[in-house]
Amino acid sequence: GNSVTQMEGPVTLSEEAFLTINCTYTATGYPSLFWYVQYPGEGLQLLLKATKADDKGSNKGFEATYRKETTSFHLEKGSVQVSDSAVYFCALRPYGGATNKLIFGTGTLLAVQP
Amino acid sequence: EAEVAQSPRYKITEKSQAVAFWCDPISGHATLYWYRQILGQGPELLVQFQDESVVDDSQLPKDRFSAERLKGVDSTLKIQPAELGDSAMYLCASSRYGDSYEQYFGPGTRLTVT
């Protein structure tokens, strides 16, 4: 079946450090891949997406590349800020089918210290 | 900027009682989703509507959960009777019709069953 596995948190970094949050997936065909972010007390927001192999999604300094050969979609940022502290969810949308449902990983809490 | 509205934000109820959540999607969004997020896990789709029709309710516990979207606009999710294991965050999302459109999430309703 379809599933997403992401690294457990919390991830604690100092401001301006490099961030990597690992995400791997299991799916048939060619799913679309997403990173969502959830700030405290708020709903999930789409951070970036990629819809086919080798696509790179990017937004607000965050990047992730769709790697079909390793079934991965790791999130990276070169220099994190305190304001990046949040929970990050990797998700996939299965290829085809009648629904657009998203399948999420368990989330990774990022805490950035000044 | 238009947002998905949900109410209440927090709900405490005793087991065996009935509880209902309301969602108002972004205007013009034909597709509406209800997800359940158990603490420490990623959101899981409960039901998806296309206008007023259910597209996917395969993960909805139909013996106690019901969902409706009578006029194809706002939606209500009901639990009767509530059980301790129903304690979770209930998220509503909406999108335009079609699999290329982003899902926009509301702030969620935090349910605690005592």
Q: What is the pLDDT confidence band of residue A6, given thresholds at 50, 70 and 90?
A: very high
Q: What is the pLDDT of residues B19-51, one digit of tens each?
A: 999 999 999 999 999 999 998 889 999 999 999
> Is A93 within 8 Å of B99 when comparing Cβ atoms?
yes
Q: How far is B79 from chain A (nearest CA, A)?
A: 21
Report the pLDDT value the prediction gives residue A97, as an integer from 0 to 100.
Answer: 67
Q: What is the pLDDT of residues A65-92, one digit of tens each?
A: 999 999 999 999 999 999 999 999 999 9
SS3 for chain A, per residue? CCEEEECCCCEEEECCCCEEECEEEECCCCCEEEEEEECCCCCEEEEEEECCCCCEEEECCEEEECECCCCECCEEECCCCHHHCEEEEEEEECCCCCCCCCEECCCEEEEEEC
Find which of A47, A101, A102, A109 to mutate to test the B interface (most B CBs within 10 Å of its CB): A101
